[in-house]
Amino acid sequence: MATGVYNQAIGAFQSNSHINNFNHQHKFNCIGRLVVTKDFFSSYGLSKRDLRVSKCIEYQTSVVDSVSSPSRSKTSDRDTHKKSNEAALILVRHGESLWNEKNLFTGCVDVPLSKKGIDEAIEAGKRISSIPVDLIFTSALIRAQMTAMLAMTQHRHMKVPIIMHNESEQAREWSQVFCKDTNTKEHSIPVIAAWQLNERMYGELQGLNKQETAQRYGKEQVHEWRRSYNIPPPNGESLEMCAERAVAYFRDQIEPQLLSGKNVMVSAHGNSLRSIIMYLEKLTSQEVISLELSTGIPMLYICKEGRFIRRGSPVAPTEAGVYAYTRRLALYRQRLDDMLQ
């Protein structure tokens, strides 16, 4: 009863599901928290136990406080955000998948990492182990989620990534954490999965061997499907179509977090990340089609004063250069050193 009244009073979580061509879009929204007093519970005839339950539910909302900033849909909205903050943006393409290993077109087919991919994800985590991470966004596909989770096992801060389940009221209730100490930003990192960050949907090519497909349709045709900007494979997405959804999501949901000073990791796919990089670096359609991203190699950007500055890929956990890019990163690493001594 307490849970129901509490949720009714504050509207702690609200979600809308939309069915699109891929039948799996989920929109994540968070609404503000309300301090519930004993008088509030007395007015509803609830007990002290109900009050304790409500407090535990309130603790649960603390994990998602970091994603409660309003979204924005226009570039001009940038001016409404605080620009004096500096934040780190880590982009990482998932490690090799089992279908990458077999040279198959994967697209939106949900297959896991190969053994090599697992090793790549762990190595990616070592490379970013001294870079702050406050919030993680992944695609809805398991290979991107595995990469993020495995990478975070290597982080020196030892925070626990927690996937925020928003697909149903029951999923939200069942994933509550009833302990304040394990639910603060010092111990946990919210992980948001979004279909908009999925790989490009390859249509009728999904599951086909790339070499055999080239022999069947011709190398030039397959190259056009794979590397052109606006020509989709049969019943699939072009890079342009993938960019429309991925960049819109980045602008609306991820960029506001960076502009507010939060450090973000995005674990996604070759084409969705190419689209985001196209936006960050203002690449042309011709420049982006030649952009290659290796599996399991993180890329670091610094978001400062509304601009994104590319800093490349950390080579190893002990590399000094990447931490010298900004005073903030150097100080963070020093704090980790002091904490772990």
Catalytic residues: 94, 199
CA distance 327 to 122: 27
> Is 270 within any annotated ligand binding site?
yes
Nearest to 57 by CA among 164, 166, 163, 180: 180
DSSP reduced 3-state for 109: coil
> Is 199 within any annotated ligand binding site?
yes
> Is 290 within any annotated ligand binding site?
no
> Is 210 within any annotated ligand binding site?
yes
> Is 201 within any annotated ligand binding site?
yes
> Is 200 within any annotated ligand binding site?
yes
CA distance 219 to 337: 52
> Is 98 within any annotated ligand binding site?
yes
> Is 226 within any annotated ligand binding site?
yes
What's the CA dihedral at 154, 155, 158, 164 to 10 degrees?
-90
Asked if residue 85 lies in contact with residue 261, where contact means CB atoms within 8 angstroms, the answer is yes
> Is 96 within any annotated ligand binding site?
yes
Long-range contacts, stretch 16-22, CB < 8 angstroms, 24+ apart: 17/167, 22/108, 22/195, 22/198, 22/201
> Is 323 within any annotated ligand binding site?
no
Longest dimension (CA), the chain: 74
> Is 227 within any annotated ligand binding site?
yes
> Is 21 within any annotated ligand binding site?
no
Give me the half-sphere count of Cα atoms (radius 13 Å) on the Cβ side of residue 68.
14
27 burial via Cβ count (<10 Å: 0-12, 13-18, 19+): middle
Numbered residues of the known binding site for substrate:
93-100, 106-107, 143, 199-202, 210, 226-227, 270-271
Numbered residues of the known binding site:
93-100, 106-107, 143, 199-202, 210, 226-227, 270-271
